[in-house]
Amino acid sequence: MGILDFYHPTEHLWQAAQAYGQTIPTRTPQQSLEQLRQRLPQGSVLGISKELGHLLKYRSTPAAAKPTLKRVQRDLSTHRSHLQYRQFKHLGVPIGSGMVESACKWLITQRFMGTGMRSSEPGFNHLLHLRVAWVKGRFDSLFADCPLTPSLYSPNR
């Protein structure tokens, strides 16, 4: 199951809302964005896409706004299966990327990007494998075939 985090399509909706604001002078881009954004978690991706399609057909829609509206409509249609937030929430699947970003910060940034630390990309990649093994509790199994004296064993034992 692929999920696009909620922030990603919201960025695209903001671009559409700015173009949308050029089409409907009684509404600010912020109001347009809020209206579109509220519909997204309800599973209204198809409805939003259709609304953008209607705007493209209006004669009052400025020519400068049409490429943005077309692109956002196409992106929503292309990724519709990854934007089923209502279904994802029903399944208990998080729709934001906060947990993943937090895990990356804890796993990588905290260990490899401290004050005064430097490393090359190849060195970082080698150490990352060791860091992941340590976190998963599999560090000792990496060296199972290497005879070690008791004083060299990991403190995890």
4: helix, strand or coil: coil
The pLDDT of residue 42 is: 82
Name the most confidently modeled range: 94-98, 109-113, 131-135: 131-135
Task: Look at the block and give the residue holding tokens 């004669």.
Answer: 59
Residue 108: is its pLDDT beyond 90? no
Q: Where are the domains of the chain?
A: 7-90, 98-152
Q: Tens digits of per-residue pLDDT, 21-69?
A: 766 677 777 787 788 888 888 878 888 898 888 888 888 788 888 999 9
- Calculate the average pLDDT of the chain: 80
Q: Which residue has the tokens 């070690």?
A: 148
C-beta neighbour count of 102 within 10 angstroms: 10
Dist. CA 14–CA 139, nearest whole Å: 46
How many Å apart are CA 64 and CA 131, to the nearest integer? Answer: 50
Band of pLDDT at residue 148, cut at 50, 70 and 90:
low
82 CB-side CA count, 13 A: 14
- Whether 71 has a pLDDT exceeding 90, the answer reads yes
Per-residue confidence band for 70, with pLDDT thresholds at 50, 70 and 90: very high
What's the average model confidence in pLDDT over 67-73? 92
Dihedral sign from CA coordinates of 95, 97, 99, 100? positive
Give the whole-angstrom CA distance, residue 116 versus residue 113: 8
Identify which of 15, 4, 1, 72 has the alpha carbon closest to the alpha carbon of residue 41.
4
Q: Are 95 and 85 in contact (CB under 8 A)?
A: yes
**Average pLDDT value for residue range 134-140:** 82
How far, in Å, CA of 17 to CA of 12, rounded? 9
Max intra-chain CA distance, the chain = 81
| pLDDT at 72 (0 to 100) | 92
Judged against a pLDDT cut of 70, whether residue 155 lies above it is answered with: no
Query: Both tokens of residue 125?
Result: 């990649």
pLDDT in tens, 17-29: 888 776 667 777 7
Its pTM stands at: 0.59
